[in-house]
């Protein structure tokens, strides 16, 4: 019996330790990025180095790319004649942290140019597979593929009779497949003069998504964009702008839940002071603005309200949101309002409460074994006392 009790206690301790390790995991990846680099022979080796070093520099800028475990990156090169389908996985999906950033930057700078043809489709497909194969795919908010190239696809190995048109159609098909597979965005930086071959711009505008595509100037970014980069020396600046746009903090949304204090029973035509609760991003509770006149159509227990919440600042003490309250009949949907900052500034969400830790899988088994361990210990103690 003593051996069984000891075994149960050991199992309980192990399961408790496992549960704590699950709860102590780092932040969830928010954005997955796949960079698809053109390594074909049409790009001069010096320009290829400018491209890889520009990407490494952009990722290494902590003011743009956070190192808190919320961003994952992978890199693919197409145009590698010594690799199957002319593509090579240069950097497997890896989460960017203070610990990993050195490896990421060093690895990207050491990428060797393939100097083959231009199988753009194969590069997009491998990037899609890497993002989907990552354990973070199901949890991440966004998956973004970025193609960096100097021109149209060209794949005589796969399409010997029509290497240009066949490769173009294949790349468009790969883009559609990526979107159908759950990739949220595909963008392209095209370096050089798009007038070299007819239809180049139209092809890239058809390739990117979400549609409709956007041809953006320097400094302009939008999901599903094509950016023409004059030369490879400007590539790093273009990637900086892209990453800053993609990794910007999301706009917070507050759900407003007006309530009536229990001590005040509203009557048709009467007035009640509404109470505001704003979530997520923190809670702001109070009595904003004037009292509300309840419309005659609203029966008890209380009115329904719509409201617009405009944050007037960040989480500094004394900064409070302003609200406008408009009554409408009971039974309408619960109101949801997004902050509209004055002057177009990006609002800073209110500091939120620390979320309750998730209960790790196997908690029921953990509690059962813990109880059995305690019960076994009790009977062992009883037998010891009888033996005396």
Q: Does residue 356 register a pLDDT over 60? A: no
Residues 113-136 have pLDDT tens digits of 999 999 999 999 999 999 999 999
Given this model, what pLDDT does residue 210 score? 97
Given this model, what pLDDT does residue 27 score? 74
Q: Does the residue 186 lie in any domain?
A: yes
Region at 217 (left for phi over 0; alpha for psi -120 to 50; beta for the rest): beta
Q: Does the residue 189 lie in any domain?
A: yes
Q: Does the residue 132 lie in any domain?
A: yes
Q: Which DSSP string corresponds to 208-255?
A: SBSSSPEEE-TT---SSEEEEESSGGGHHHHHHHHHHHHTSPPPP-EE
Given this model, what pLDDT does residue 57 score? 96
CATH of residue 78's domain is 3.40.50.410
CA distance 31 to 33: 7
Which residue in this structure is represented by tokens 């009888």? 386
Region 349-365 average pLDDT: 42
Which of the four pLDDT bands, split at 50, 70 and 90, describes residue 150?
very high
The pLDDT > 90 percentage for the chain reads 49
- Residue 38 sits in which domain range? 31-246
Q: Does the residue 130 lie in any domain?
A: yes
Region 172-200 average pLDDT: 90
Q: Does residue 295 register a pLDDT over 80? A: no
Please count the structural domains in the chain: 1
Given this model, what pLDDT does residue 268 score? 55
Q: Considering only 89-93, 224-228, 247-251, 338-342, which range has the smallest mean pLDDT?
A: 338-342
Which of the four pLDDT bands, split at 50, 70 and 90, describes residue 241?
very high
Element (H, E) at 201: helix 200-207
Q: Does residue 3 register a pLDDT over 50? A: yes
Q: Does the residue 320 lie in any domain?
A: no
Q: Does the residue 188 lie in any domain?
A: yes
Q: Does residue 58 register a pLDDT over 90? A: yes
CA distance 116 to 86: 7
**CB within 8 A of 383, min separation 6: which ones?**
1
CA dist list (Å): 294 to 269, 285, 290, 305: 5, 21, 13, 10
Q: Does the residue 363 lie in any domain?
A: no
Residue 25 CB neighbours (<10 A) = 10
Which of the four pLDDT bands, split at 50, 70 and 90, describes residue 266?
low
Region 239-250 average pLDDT: 84
Residue 260 CB neighbours (<10 A) = 18
CA distance 102 to 60: 8
Q: Does the residue 272 lie in any domain?
A: no
The pLDDT > 70 percentage for the chain reads 56
């Amino acid at each position: 019996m003593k051996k069984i009790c000891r075994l149960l206690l050991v199992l309980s301790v192990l399961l408790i330790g496992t549960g704590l390790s699950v709860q102590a995991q780092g932040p969830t990846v928010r954005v997955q990025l796949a960079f698809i680099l053109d390594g074909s022979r049409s790009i001069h080796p010096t320009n290829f180095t400018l491209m890889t070093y520009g990407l490494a520099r952009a990722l290494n800028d902590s003011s743009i790319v956070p190192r808190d475990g919320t961003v994952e990156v992978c890199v693919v090169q197409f145009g590698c004649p010594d690799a199957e389908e002319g593509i090579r996985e240069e950097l497997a999906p890896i989460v960017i942290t203070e610990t990993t950033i050195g490896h990421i930057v060093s690895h990207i700078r050491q990428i060797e140019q393939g100097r083959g043809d231009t199988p753009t489709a194969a590069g997009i497909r491998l990037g899609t597979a890497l993002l989907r194969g990552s354990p973070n795919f199901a949890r991440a908010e966004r998956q973004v593929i970025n193609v960096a190239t100097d021109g149209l696809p060209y794949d005589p190995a796969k399409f010997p009779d029509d290497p240009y048109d066949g490769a173009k159609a294949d790349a468009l098909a790969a883009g559609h497949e990526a979107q159908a597979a759950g990739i949220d965005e595909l963008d392209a930086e095209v370096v050089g003069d798009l007038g070299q071959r007819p239809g180049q711009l139209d092809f890239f505008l058809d390739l990117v998504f979400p549609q409709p595509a956007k041809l953006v100037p320097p400094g302009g970014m939008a999901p599903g964009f094509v950016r023409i980069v004059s030369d490879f020396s400007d590539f790093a600046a273009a990637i900086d702008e892209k990453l800053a746009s993609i990794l910007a903090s999301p706009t917070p949304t507050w759900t407003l839940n007006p309530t009536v204090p229990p001590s005040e029973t509203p009557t048709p035509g009467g007035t009640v002071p509404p109470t505001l609760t704003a979530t997520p991003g923190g809670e702001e509770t109070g009595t904003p603005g004037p009292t509300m006149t309840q419309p005659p159509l609203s029966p008890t227990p209380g009115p329904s309200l719509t409201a617009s919440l405009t944050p007037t600042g960040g989480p500094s003490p004394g900064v409070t949101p302003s609200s406008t309250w408009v009554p409408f009949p009971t039974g309408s949907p619960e109101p949801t309002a997004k902050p509209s900052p004055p002057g177009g500034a990006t609002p800073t969400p209110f500091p939120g409460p620390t979320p309750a830790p998730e209960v790790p899988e196997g908690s029921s088994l953990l509690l059962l074994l813990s109880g059995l361990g305690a019960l076994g210990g009790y009977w062992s103690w009883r037998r010891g006392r009888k033996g005396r």
